[in-house]
Structure formats: structure tokens, C-alpha cells
Chains A and B, each alone.
Chain A
Amino acid sequence: MNDTPVSEPPREEPSGEATTEQMPPPRRLLRSTGDRVIAGVAGGLGRYFGIDPVVFRIGFALSLFFGGLGALAYLLLAVFVPTDGDPDRAQRLGARLRALGIWRGLGLVAIAIVAFFGLSALAAVAAFAVGLGWGVPVAIVIIAIGALLAIASLRGGARWLIPPAVAIAIGGGVAAASDLDVRGGIGEREYHPTTVRSIPADGYRLGAGRLVVDLRGLDWGKHRVLPLEVSLGVGQADVFVPKRVCVTGTTHAGVGESEVTGERNDGVDVDHTPAGSRSTPRLNIDASVDVGQLRVINSDTADVDRPGFGPGPFHEDTAPLRAAEARACGTG
């Protein structure tokens, strides 16, 4: 050992460059080329953390049984973590993906998604306001923003205003054109009238939510012809009738789906008039849903909350419904 007067303790030099273990640039995680079963990910991780790689291997394998997110992590690590030796195919693929700007693309997509949600919320608020009957004020707001934009254009423009303005315009416009009406209240309403008299004269209405009208408790007798009005702004409306009751009338859906006696129509401005019939007992229904789904269900046993058939993600078999209706209306 040379005898320099004071040996410097292992601290950073005054030049600012750290030379010890406390470092601003972090230790790199590298895939191991020596200890590799598939791509050396577990080996690299083990080396980085100082734990036996077997732990990581078991972890990855186990994760396969629990949703496979570990496999996703493994793939990402294999592609984007470089090896400690010569680049292998996975690393080259990773380099090419990065050159393509995949991460940038994904980041932008994420930002776009969030912006989209924010704007959608704005549009929904506008639509709701129109549905609540404030169509005129909302329209005035839209016109005002438009005028503001036009004026601002003379002073350099206010482009940031455009996306929110468009969102509000779309929300309000769609709501106005489809005559959205949510004034009837919000929530979930179930009605089980037992006598014809207890049915309100102008029918059942709901602003937004789920509306259930269960008519199976009524006394249908042999000749009952029951007129009924149902009106829903946004949501789902279900009308239950006994199996032997024939259904006629008109249903209307602004944007959505209407299923009557197993016949399903969906789209925009959907109108459905079941084949007219003279048989009794009969329900003459006049139903309208502005945005949502309307169902008239012929069944003695269906549960109000889980009818058991009807349009769903897998479009269950609606033949029983249609058969019931056919029987009831005598159009075998």
C-alpha cells in the first residue's frame, strides 16, 4: 500500500459523478444468457434481485393458472429487456417494436381513450339536460359557444374550445332529435297491479332506469282487452303478461331494441306492430323507449328480475316466447 496521507473515504468525488453504489443511473436489468430456460428472464431477474431464479420460474408458471398475467409480464420482459451478451431474436424484435414507436402509439391511445371518456361524459350531461326538458337553454348554450368561437377566431382562435363544444352539441342534438324524455323520474320501478282500476290512466312512465310492469296478477278472464301505455326515457322496460294473453299494439324505440313476443328489432327509430289479431284476452300496448330496450314477455313463470330468455349477449333462444305468443293470438 502506498502511504498517501489521507485515503479518501469512498464518497463521491467533487466533480459530481458518483462512483459508488449510490447511483443516479439505476442498475440495468439484463436477461441472462447463461442461465436461461426459455429467454433468460427468470435468470436475469434472479441476478438483479439476488434471489434464486427458480423462485421467479415458479412464479411465472403458477401465474398461468391464475389468469396468465405472468405470461404477459414474461413476454414483455423477454422482448424489451436486453440480454447481457449478444442480442437474441427477442431483443431484436423489441428494438424494432420500439423503433416503430409502439410505446408512443400505446401512450397516445391511452390519452385518447381518457379524453374520449371525458368528452362522452360531457355529451351525456348535455343529453340528460335536454331530456329533463331544458332543451332550449342547452340550445342557447350551444349557440353561445359557437358564437364565442367565431368571435375568438378574430383574436387568435380558441381551438381548445372545439372538442367540448362538439361533445355538448352531439349530446344535445341526439337527445333533442330522439325526443328524449327523462322527466318521469329516475330509478327502478316495479308495478304489480292486481286490478284494472289501479292502472293509471296515462300509463306507466319513467325517466331513466328500469321499469317493470307485471300484469300477471290481473284477472284476465276470457275476454279482457287491456290498453296500456308505457313510456320510458332511458333504460329498460319489461312488461310481463301471462302466456295465454295475445299482444298487439305499437312499440317504439328511439335508439335501442324492442322485443315483443320473441320478435326482436333493433336499431334507430324502431317501430314494431305485432300482427293484429282479434283473439282475447289481449293486451293493446302503446310503448315507447327513447334510448334502451323494451320487452314484452309472454310467460306465466318468468321471474321479474331474470326472465330467462330474451336478447342478451348470447341471444338466447326466443322460440318459447314466440310459440307462446302464437298460441295465445291464435296464429298457430
Chain B
Amino acid sequence: MRNGLSIDILSLGAGAAIAVVGALVLLDSAGSLDLSLGWMAVALIGAVGAILALSGLTRQPKRHD
């Protein structure tokens, strides 16, 4: 187990982005918000881009040696 303070930024960021998208889907399905495909595309592409960029920034060194 790693030392307790190390946070995996990628998982955190990805989790946040995905949760946001999920919230949007929730709002749209429940009717409070009618999201057009254009805005959903913005949200999705932005989320994927952010996750990718994060993954590039937080490349872990090889786990097993």
C-alpha cells in the first residue's frame, strides 16, 4: 500500500468529469433541463479531453520492476 497521502490525480479528475456528465444526463432525463446535442457534445468532448490530458500529465512510473 502506498503512503496514505498520495492521491491519484487522474482518478480524481476523471471521476469528477464523469460525475458531472452523469449529472447532466440526470437532469436531462428527469426533465429539468433539455440539453441539445450540441451542448452535450461540448460537455463530453471536454470531459474526454480533460481526462486524456490528465492521463498524460500524471504518467505513473512503471509499477513492477
Contact = CB atoms under 8 A, between A and B. Distances in A.
Interface in B21-52: 21-26, 28-30, 34-41, 43-44, 47-48, 51
A161 to B, nearest CB: 8
Contacts of A142: 18-19, 21-22, 25
Contact of A146 (B1, B8, B19, B35): B19
Nearest to B43: A173
B35 A169 contact: no
- The binding surface of chain A is classed by DSSP as helix
A142 to B, nearest CB: 3
A154 B25 contact: no
B28 A150 contact: no
B53 interface: no
A177 B10 contact: no
A87 to B, nearest CB: 36
Interface string A152-172: 111011110110011001101
Contact of A152 (B11, B28, B35): B11
Contacts of B16: 146, 150
Contacts of A152: 8, 11, 15
B28 A135 contact: yes
Contact of B37 (A135, A158, A170, A268): A268
B59 to A, nearest CB: 11
A156 B10 CA distance: 10
A249 B50 CA distance: 42
Contact of A157 (B11, B19, B35): B11
A250 interface: no
B15 A139 contact: no
A265 interface: no
Contact of A173 (B2, B11, B14, B40): B40
Contacts of A255: 37
B5 to A, nearest CB: 9
Nearest to B17: A146
Contacts of A172: 21-22, 25
Contact of B44 (A149, A170, A268): A170
Contact of B30 (A136, A149, A174): A136
Contacts of A161: 11
A153 B7 CA distance: 6
Given A166-B51, A173-B21, A176-B35, A149 B26 contact: no
A122 B10 CA distance: 22
Nearest to A254: B37
Contacts of A151: 15
Nearest to B28: A176
A173 B7 contact: no
> Considering residues B16, B28, B30, B35, which has the most beta carbons from chain A within 10 angstroms of its beta carbon?
B28
Contact of A150 (B15, B24, B30, B47): B15
Interface in A164-217: 165-166, 169-170, 172-174, 176-179
Interface of B: 1-2, 6-12, 14-26, 28-30, 34-41, 43-44, 47-48, 51, 55
10 contacts: A135-B25, A135-B26, A135-B30, A142-B21, A146-B19, A154-B8, A159-B55, A169-B47, A170-B44, A176-B24
Interface of A: 130, 135-136, 138-154, 156-159, 161-162, 165-166, 169-170, 172-174, 176-179, 254-255, 268-269
In order of increasing CB-CB distance, the 4 nearest A-B pairs are A135-B29, A157-B8, A146-B19, A149-B15
